[in-house]
Amino acid sequence: ADLTTQFLDLPVKNPVMNAAGVWCSVASQLEALAESAAGAMVTKSCTLQPRDGNPEPRYRVLDGDKPFGSINSMGLPNEGFAYYLRYAQRHDYEEKPLFVSLSGLTLDDNLTMIDSLKDAVTPAILEVNLSCPNVPGKSQIGYDFESMDTLLAEVSSGYQRPFGVKLPPYFDMAHFDEAAEILNRYPLVAFVTCINSIGNALVIDLASETTLIKPKDGFGGLGGDYVLPTALANVNAFYRRCPNKTIIGCGGIKSGREAFMHILAGATLVQIGTSLYEEGPGIFQRVLDELSAIMDEKGYATTEEFRGKLKTL
């Protein structure tokens, strides 16, 4: 099958890329993604200043013999915005698009980074992480609709170019409606990436009667097989509610099967997190071959032919 895809107005050689945060924190990882079969790539969500992040263990894979999920409370470890901007300025955009993910600790930090990104006049695509922290005591931006509205207004007027947002998962129809209503008021929000990890899960080790990760009393974001149905629901919910926006699917993709499901639900690109963390950048070619085989079997020449064509009963 022909996996070439159009993202916004960009031709992309295939729809598969990494999820922000995975295999994208330092130059060696970014270079590995650039050299991999991935059709695009995104940098670790960054803050204005470099951060060490939380104490380890802060990421654990939940495995029998094969990983089926992950839990993490990394705490935004990253090299700082200037590092990723420098990478963006030496990236080969002919090879594949680069997304830069921002997760400022304050609105001001986000606007400062966005100003610099705009002034740098780089082809990099902005993905604003709405799981970024809010003022203490308030929920993350993605769950505080008033703060989300304010942030999108400020980013739109500051950046003045198309950008995207990474959304946390929603679990209530009224929340899909309210989030979409806000997003649809910002035409510069050209794409929506669903979903970020399912927040504040708790995994327990039976033998030791202990949490698996150290930060936050063991509470962390869930990824992998556990989140696929929620990810598909969020992709489809925003695909239905935001007809003028492009959807990027993320959550539970470990083979061509889940990639196909995300595209059927409405995704244009798909991002791999947990499985990339465990398998490494070789996963992209494997998933692409599997996706292509499924499309051939079903008689689809391009992803366009089945994108969003999920049938209901």
Near ligand YRO by CB under 6 A, which window of 8-16, 31-39, 128-136, 241-249? 128-136
**Is 125 or 250 the residue whose CB approaches ligand YRO more closely?**
250
Burial class of residue 243, CB neighbours in 10 A (0-12, 13-18, 19+): exposed
Strand, coil or helix: 132: coil
Closest separation in Å from C-beta 69 to ligand YRO: 12
Residue 131 binding ligand YRO, by CB under 6 A: yes
d(CA 198, CA 82): 29
Q: What six digits make up the tokens of 5?
A: 């895809």
Q: Is 194 a catalytic residue?
A: no
**Is 35 or 63 the residue whose CB approaches ligand YRO more closely?**
63
Q: Before 57, cis peptide (omega within 30)?
A: yes
Contacts of 182 (CB under 8 A, 6+ apart): 145, 148, 149, 152
Closest separation in Å from C-beta 271 to ligand YRO: 12
d(CA 253, CA 20): 14
What letter does residue 298 receive in the DSSP assignment? H
Residue 45 binding ligand YRO, by CB under 6 A: yes
Residue 249 binding ligand YRO, by CB under 6 A: no
Closest separation in Å from C-beta 199 to ligand YRO: 7
The interface with ligand YRO within residues 47-76 (CB under 6 A) comprises 72-76
Residue type, 239: Y
Under a CB-based contact definition with an 8 Å cutoff, are residues 273 and 21 in contact? yes
Among 15, 21, 104, 169, binds ligand YRO (CB under 6 A): 21
Q: How far is CA 284 from CA 34, 44, 135, 305, in A?
A: 12, 18, 37, 22
- Residue of 24, 46, 132, 242 marked catalytic: 132
**Is 47 or 303 the residue whose CB approaches ligand YRO more closely?**
47
Near ligand YRO by CB under 6 A, which window of 115-123, 129-137, 177-185, 203-211? 129-137
Name the nearest CA neighbour of 249 among 224, 227, 273, 266. 266
**Is 24 or 263 the residue whose CB approaches ligand YRO more closely?**
24
Residue 271 binding ligand YRO, by CB under 6 A: no
Q: What six digits make up the tokens of 284?
A: 């992209």
**Is 54 or 303 the residue whose CB approaches ligand YRO more closely?**
54
Among 18, 110, 197, 303, binds ligand YRO (CB under 6 A): 197
Residue 147 binding ligand YRO, by CB under 6 A: no
> H/E element holding 127?
strand 125-129
Q: What six digits make up the tokens of 240?
A: 């239905």
**Positions in the binding site for ligand YRO (CB under 6 A):** 21, 45, 72-76, 103, 129, 131-133, 196-197, 221
Residues designated as active site: 132
